[in-house]
A and B are shown apart, each in its own frame.
Chain A
Amino acid sequence: EDQVTQSPEALRLQEGESSSLNCSYTVSGLRGLFWYRQDPGKGPEFLFTLYSAGEEKEKERLKATLTKKESFLHITAPKPEDSATYLCAVFNKFYFGSGTKLNVKP
C-alpha cells in the first residue's frame, strides 16, 4: 500500500540551529515528490518538486533532496519565521504525510 511517513512529528530548534526533516515513502513508480509549508489555519504553500533520485532544490534557507526511498528538507540557520508545519506529498496520487511541526525559537 502506498504510504508517506514524515519524521519527526515535531521539532523545536533555536534560531540558527540547522536540522533536517525526513519524508519516507513506499510508492510504486514514484513520479515526483512535493514539499509544502503550512501555517496554522491556512492552505499549504508550495515549496519544491523533486522528480528523480539525486535531485536537489534550494530556496533561501531550505534545501530539498531525494533518494529512492526518502526525501529530506534541510533547514540551514533557521529563523523564527520558518516556524510552520512542513508537509511532503507524492506526485502520483497526492498522498500527504502528517507533517513535521517546526518551532524555531529566537
Chain B
Amino acid sequence: DAGVTQSPTHLIKTRGQQVTLRCSPKSGHDTVSWYQQALGQGPQFIFQYYEEEERQRGNFPDRFSGHQFPNYSSELNVNALLLGDSALYLCASSRRRGTGNTEAFFGQGTRLTVV
C-alpha cells in the first residue's frame, strides 16, 4: 500500500515565477492538507481540501492556491514566488470523520528553493 507521495522532491525556482506541487494521498483517504515548514520550525497549515473544495485555510496569502481532483489527489500552486517561500512543503492525507479528521499521514515533502 503506497503511502502519501509527493512530487517533485526538490525544485529550484526564480523569484516571481509560479510553481505547482503535487500530492497523491494514502489509499482510503479523502482529505488532503498542505503545510509549509521553514527550517527549524513546525509545519504551518496552508489549507485543507475535501470533496474537491477548500474547507479550511491558514494564514497564507492568495498567492497560495490549490486544487483537489476526483481521485483525491491534490495540487498546491504558488504564484509570484518570493525568496521567503523557500521551505519544505508537506502534504498530509487523512480520512474525514464527523466534523474532524483521522490522524494524518505525511509525504516526504517537496523542498522548494527560490533564488
- A contact set with B: CB distance below 8 Å: 6, 31-32, 34, 36, 41-46, 49, 87, 89, 91-99
Chain A residues whose C-beta falls within 8 Å of the C-beta of B56 in the assembled complex: 93
Are B106 and A94 in touch, CB under 8 angstroms?
no
**Bound CA–CA A47/B90 (angstroms):** 17
Q: In the complex, how many angstroms separate the beta carbon of B55 from the nearest chain A beta carbon?
A: 11
Are B41 and A95 in touch, CB under 8 angstroms?
no
**Bound CA–CA A91/B37 (angstroms):** 18
**Bound CA–CA A36/B106 (angstroms):** 10
Q: Which of B100-114 contact A (CB under 8 A)?
A: 100-101, 103-109, 111
Is B76 in contact with chain A by the CB < 8 A criterion?
A: no
Q: In the complex, how many angstroms separate the beta carbon of B49 from the nearest chain A beta carbon?
A: 13
**Bound CA–CA A43/B33 (angstroms):** 13
Are B104 and A46 in touch, CB under 8 angstroms?
yes
Chain B residues whose C-beta falls within 8 Å of the C-beta of A45 in the assembled complex: 106
Given A94-B33, A96-B43, A97-B42, A32 contacting B100 (CB threshold 8 A): yes
Are B42 and A94 in touch, CB under 8 angstroms?
no
**Bound CA–CA A17/B99 (angstroms):** 41
B42, B99, B108: the one contacting A43 at CB < 8 Å is B108
